[in-house]
Amino acid sequence: MKTPLHDVHSGLGASFTDFAGWDMPVRYSSDLAEHRAVREASGLFDLSHMGEIELAGPQAADALDYAFSGKLSAVAVGRARYTMMCNERGGVVDDLVVYRLAEERYLVVANAGNAAEVSAELVRRAEGFDTTVTDRSAETALIAVQGPTSAAIVGAVSDADLSTLKYYASVPTTVAGRDVLLARTGYTGEDGFELFVAADDAAAVWQVLTEAGQGHGIVPCGLACRDTLRLEAGMPLYGNELSADGSPFAANLGRVVRFDKEGDFVGRAALEGRPAPETVLVGLTGSGRRAPRHGYRVLQGDDEVGEITSGALSPTLGHPIAMAYVPVRCSEPGTTLSADIRGRLEPVEVVALPFYQRR
Amino acid sequence: MTIPQNLRYTKEHEWISVDGDVATVGITAFAAEALGDVVFVELPEAGSEVSAGTPCGEIESTKSVSEIYAPVDGEITEVNQAVIDTPESVNSDPYEQGWLFKVRVESMPELMDAAAYTALTQEG
């Protein structure tokens, strides 16, 4: 599948990769330069492969409270919330961001690889509630501007008052005369914005942001740097840190499971009955330049204790960073473990997440 | 992307330049671009024996890691210390400053010429 911006990326000389069935830019020039641009200036991302599902109706909030782990009925209009769709076993179907657009209208943003399942599952879970469920993925493009100069760029092209637009909030506005839902959200560890636009308006909005960003160091960015940016920020990636067999608690995301909300939600019984997790997600740092990668073994002495879920040489920090599931007894920061990097054991130290936090 | 006419190539995307009985080995621009920014190169030690088609080092980008395969049988005579210190030269200058190691050739399998390698890179 191709996003509405595919031709734009080709014109910019992007290299493409398959991501969940989508032909997406992996990089335009250099992963490191794009990563650095987001940390020091701004990056422009096409995220149109992600899924957008709208719920509207008097019981949209109730349907979401039942469908997801969070208490979406408590989210104020104009605000957003990070949440999970769990299965009956308490495993994670997807991690999502839900925007409350109006009293009776929500926008659910799902990962590309899970979008079809989330959409179908939302239809099922909303049965019996007075709400519509509309998959708007095909007609919606998503463009992100992320980095310390992003507010200057977005401020130059929209009338929205960014000084009052908080992190995890959204506001309808216009950019280049096109209707945009402007959200202050992201997946990079920097200040940043995500712009939901009609697919037909995507190229025009991309162009306007590119022009507005010229004096602010904006660089088009691919999925390769998106992955290293989110890893430095300690953010989980579905399929690496999160899965249908894992639990939100093991991923240190118990805070998004709201047992205190009224009524049932899918996965509640399994999650309430489940003992504390035996393995938990930790951050690991190494020395040298060889990075532990997804699937590599983690050892304590001679004993295999866990597995790397994500890892890379951190472009910002200059040393290897990784996340891994390890037994609770090995999870204390300062604990020395080792990673089997293609047959050679390299020492790694457990550290608190995130690896990188913006000032 | 230009593919130098004077070099020989392997299906693992290495280039080989032969001078007498010494072959200089690197990875192609095509391979470097597929890897992304190279951040780490591990090379065989000078004096070690390598055999054609077997891994003798590794090359790592932020996104992925690949093995370096010896294109010939022989003894490593020299490794490029500069590329270990500045691995980005594999991206910026893969056929000159980005060379990886030299090997005294004891036996060389049949290698591709530029035309055959060009065809390989266009197979998708």
Nearest Cβ partner of A27 from B36, B42, B58?
B36
Q: Which of B60, B61, B62 sits opposite A290 (nearest CB)?
A: B60
pLDDT digits (tens, 9 = 90+) for A35-50: 999 999 999 999 999 9
Q: Do B60 and A313 touch (CB under 8 A)?
A: yes
Residues in chain B with CB shorter than 8 Å from the CB of A315 are 62
Q: What percent of chain A has pLDDT over 90?
A: 98
Name the residue among A31, A33, A289 with its Cβ closest to that of B63.
Answer: A31
How far is it, in rounded angstroms, from Cα B8 to Cα B71? 10
Q: Which two tokens stand for residue A198?
A: 């009609």
Task: Output the pLDDT for position A133.
Answer: 98
> Cβ of B121 under 8 Å from any chain A Cβ?
no
Chain B contacts of A227, Cβ < 8 Å?
Answer: 63
| Residues of chain A neighbouring B60 (CB-CB closer than 8 A) | 289-291, 313
Contact B39 A227 (CB under 8 A): no
Tell me the average pLDDT of chain A. Answer: 97
Q: Identify the pLDDT of residue A141.
A: 98
B30: its two tokens: 């095509």
Q: Is B92 on the interface with A (CB under 8 A)?
A: no
Check CB contact of B39 with chain A, cutoff 8 Å.
yes
Q: Give the pLDDT of residue A359.
A: 80
Q: Pick B62's closest partner by Cβ from A290, A315, A342.
A: A315
Cα B13–chain centre separation: 7
Kindly give the parts of chain A with pLDDT less than 70: none
Confidence at residue A329, expressed as pLDDT on a 0 to 100 scale: 97
pLDDT band at B123 (very low <50, low <70, confident <90, very high): confident
* Interface residues from chain A to B (CB-CB < 8 Å): 15, 26-27, 30-33, 35, 224-225, 227-228, 289-291, 293, 312-313, 315, 342
**In this predicted model, what pLDDT tens digit does every residue of A121-150 receive, in sequence order?**
999 999 999 999 999 999 999 999 999 999
Neighboring chain B residues of A308 at a CB cutoff of 8 Å: none
Q: Could you write out the DSSP letters of every residue in A304-328?
A: EEEEEEEEEE-TTTSSEEEEEEEEG
CA distance A227 to B87: 21
What span, in angstroms and rounded, lies between the C-alpha atoms of A191 and A150? Answer: 7
Nearest-by-CA chain B residue for A14: B33
ipTM value for the complex: 0.85
First to last CA, chain B: 14
Question: Chain B contacts of A35, Cβ < 8 Å?
Answer: 62
Please report the domains of chain B, with CATH numbers, ordered by start residue.
8-25+41-108 (2.40.50.100)
Which tens digit of pLDDT belongs to each residue from A221-268? 999 999 999 999 999 999 999 999 999 999 999 999 999 999 999 999
With pLDDT > 90 as the criterion, what percentage of chain B qualifies?
94
Report how far residue A114's alpha carbon sits from residue A119's, in angstroms, rounded to the nearest whole number: 8
Question: What chain A residue is nearest to B55 in terms of C-alpha separation?
Answer: A342
Q: With beta carbons less than 8 A apart as the criterion, state whether A226 and A45 touch.
A: yes
Give the pLDDT confidence score for residue A1 in this predicted structure. Answer: 97
At residue A143, what are phi and psi to the nearest 5 degrees? Answer: -120, 130
**Do A313 and B39 lie within an 8 Å CB cutoff?**
yes
pLDDT above 60: residue B108: yes
Is residue B124's pLDDT more than 60?
no
Cβ B85 vs Cβ B64: under 8 Å: no
In the numeric block, the tokens 């492969």 are attached to: A49
Domains of chain A: 6-50+139-232 (3.30.1360.120), 51-135 (3.30.70.1400), 278-351 (2.40.30.110)
